[in-house]
Amino acid sequence: MNARHLAHLTGIIIALLLPAAASLAQAPAEQKALLYQGKYVPDIATFMQIGNATPAGYSWDGQDVYFQSSWPGATQVFRITGEGWPYQLTTFEDGIDFFTLSYDGKMAIVGASAGGSEQSQLYLMDTKTGRVLQITHFEDVQMGSVLWGRDDKSIFYRSNQENGRDFFIYRMDLTSGESRKIFGDSSGVRGYNGITDISPDGTKLIVYNFTSNVDNDLYLLDLPTGQHQKLNDDDHDVSYLSPTIMPDNKTIWLTCNDNEDGIQRLATMTVGSPKVNFAADNWIDPRWEIDDLGFSRDYKYMGAVVNEDGYTRLKLREVATKKELPSPPLDGMMGNGYSDKNGNFVISFNSPTRAPDVWRWNPFTQELKQLTFSTYAGIDRSIFTEPTLVKFKSFDDLEIPAFLYLPPGYRKGQAIPFIIDAHGGPEGQFQPYFARNIQYLMLNGYGILAPNPRGSSGYGREYLNLDNYKNRKHSLMDYRAAAQWLIDNGYSRQGMLGIRGGSYGGYVVLGMITEYPDLFSAAIDNVGIANFQTFLENTRPYRRALRESEYGPLTDPEFLKEISPIHKAHLIKTPLLVVHGENDPRVPIGEARQILEAVHSNGGVVDSLIFSDEGHGAGKTVNVIAEYRKQVEFFDKHLKRNEPGKAD
């Protein structure tokens, strides 16, 4: 390693550990808002260098904590041993896609791809030194869902290497490097398969098969015999998520929404019976969905991430006694992590005003310790502000939840430039995680409204399915209602409204400026769909069936044409910025090229930012900075000129 490389790595580690400066910690809120208006706000590039750290693994003896961070310029994995400093383990040019630690903690499997292609190769890593050995050599193949065998001598993974469309399950012997298919076409279960758990004795795998984003089946694969059995039996859309098989090899804990209100709730199943038994106790408020469920390696403790109107809370309890354990005293967004044999839990935590970091919590001693310290790039985080959860009525009186972000010093009734943020999915959910660019925009006088329209997750199965197929444009009408709510309540006015979104949210942007051409004065489409016909034809084959179940099949070209913004591009009046990655395997670059050409040929105002080394969204820090700098410049140009007191 040369001196320059060493200096670079040292700077990264220091940045991860140094706490933020507190230059204005004692200043009154009004003074802070005044100081951080206009030219006193650091450049967007500075904001985008605020750090992040999330758990990636935890040794059972509690000695080594693994976390991932994008501070090196792309996502890499670090190790903390005892009270020592972070040691960077990976140095992949384009970062890593996933990291899976072996049971003894001595090895890990790393998935890494190039240029945002998502075609991960598998690498075997020595977790002490970071030395890696590439163990798969495929082109145009996606692999993932990696699970270690209980003896750490083999791994299980999914791959679409056979035909590029169906994911089958493979087992690799790490000594010989040989792989063989153990669950595939001979089982009659094709499509989107993956692995979710292995039994404590190492003899059984739980395999999932998704037929749509809201429907999946579970299978139990007996490894010694190769035989499998279907665990569930239903004839409608049901989500069976986070399944864990217990030491008796019969009891399976999971979350399921096959209930009256379609809420993802805690439940059990017994192997051999498809009946779902929902937990009868009130450990978790029945109003809220469970986003994630996990267990300690010794199956003594369970942790559930509860989605409370978009906010996530971590709840812990003993499995045998069902006794609830104290939750970490943190107010924000918590996620499941990992545990050790001493009852410590390593978790993720962030909030709208606090960058993601890794914490350790012991519910028995109630000791809480912050393990990573993300840099704030010299910005005093006390100037950041929290959103407010609001609700408004849509065209059919359906109540739509949204998060409202207002800049410091905002006066009630003051009309300001506002940006509506459209999330992806469409089954995604906007949640109030830390967002650097949102804090920057607020400090520059913008408001942001982030709705969760019909079709969003987190609110039950009925709400989730309200935008499917023929009801696609109903979700656009929810965004129309969001814009009208801002105007009616004096937050903004026509001429000062912008909209942005990524992936499906990019389609929302294009749909809104074609269905409602006079509503917005600036729009940013990030890796969005312009033409559903070409999108479905050109997206990766393994994704097509799942996408058709949501948007409509290729066998219904008239409907796909009717909802595709490309066929109404001549109506676009709104200045448009299109951002995309050349290597996007989900929404191919052709979608961006189509809308750019159409708007340009019609004489519209359109700009673009195309990354040659990215896929479905920018991942490298240098590109993320370039993207948000472009966003800020674009919104400033087209929205701020319409502020009161400024010439149109």
- Domains in the chain: how many in total? 2
From 137, 158, 179, give the residue that closes a domain: 137
DSSP, residue by residue, 10-30: HHHHHHHHSPPP-TTTTS-HH
- The yes-or-no verdict on residue 18 having pLDDT over 70 is no
- What pLDDT digit, counting tens, does each position of 609-639 carry? 999 999 999 988 899 999 999 999 999 999 9
The burial of 110, by beta-carbon neighbours within 10 Å (0-12 exposed, 13-18 middle, 19 or more buried), is given as buried
Rounded distance between C-alpha atoms, residue 55 and residue 359, angstroms = 9
* Structure-derived torsion over alpha carbons of residues 347, 455, 501, 410, reported in degrees to the nearest 10: -80
In a domain, 291, yes or no: no
Task: Label residue 286 by pLDDT band (50, 70, 90).
Answer: very high
- What pLDDT digit, counting tens, does each position of 259-276 carry? 999 999 999 999 999 999
Percent of the chain with pLDDT over 70: 92
Helix axes 436-443, 621-639, angle to 10 degrees: 30
- What pLDDT digit, counting tens, does each position of 52-98 carry? 999 999 999 999 999 999 989 999 999 999 888 999 999 999 999 99
- The yes-or-no verdict on residue 567 having pLDDT over 60 is yes
The average pLDDT across 324-336 equals: 93
Pairwise pLDDT comparison (213 vs 421), residue with the higher score? 421
- The yes-or-no verdict on residue 10 having pLDDT over 60 is no
In a domain, 246, yes or no: no
In a domain, 4, yes or no: no
DSSP code, position 150? T
- Determine the pLDDT at residue 644: 60
Task: Residue 84: give the domain boundaries.
Answer: 58-137
Rounded distance between C-alpha atoms, residue 557 and residue 562, angstroms = 9
From 137, 167, 189, give the residue that closes a domain: 137
The average pLDDT across 459-487 equals: 93
- The yes-or-no verdict on residue 42 having pLDDT over 90 is no
Pairwise pLDDT comparison (332 vs 3), residue with the higher score? 332
In a domain, 597, yes or no: yes
The average pLDDT across 27-44 equals: 57
Task: Label residue 190 by pLDDT band (50, 70, 90).
Answer: confident
- What pLDDT digit, counting tens, does each position of 118-142 carry? 899 999 999 999 999 999 999 889 9
- Determine the pLDDT at residue 409: 87
The average pLDDT across 463-479 equals: 92
Strands 333-339 and 345-351: antiparallel
In a domain, 89, yes or no: yes
Rounded distance between C-alpha atoms, residue 141 and residue 632, angstroms = 37
In a domain, 102, yes or no: yes
List b or e across 272-307, with b for residues whose CB sees 16 or more CB atoms inside 10 angstroms.
eeeebeeeeeeebeeebbbbbbbbbeebebbbbbbb
DSSP, residue by residue, 192-214: EEEEEEE-TTS-EEEEEEEEETT
- The yes-or-no verdict on residue 452 having pLDDT over 90 is yes
Percent of the chain with pLDDT over 90: 79
What six digits make up the tokens of 324? Answer: 């609830």
- Determine the pLDDT at residue 281: 85
In a domain, 624, yes or no: yes
**Mean pLDDT across the chain:** 90
Strands 418-422 and 447-451: parallel
From 121, 137, 153, give the residue that closes a domain: 137
In a domain, 106, yes or no: yes
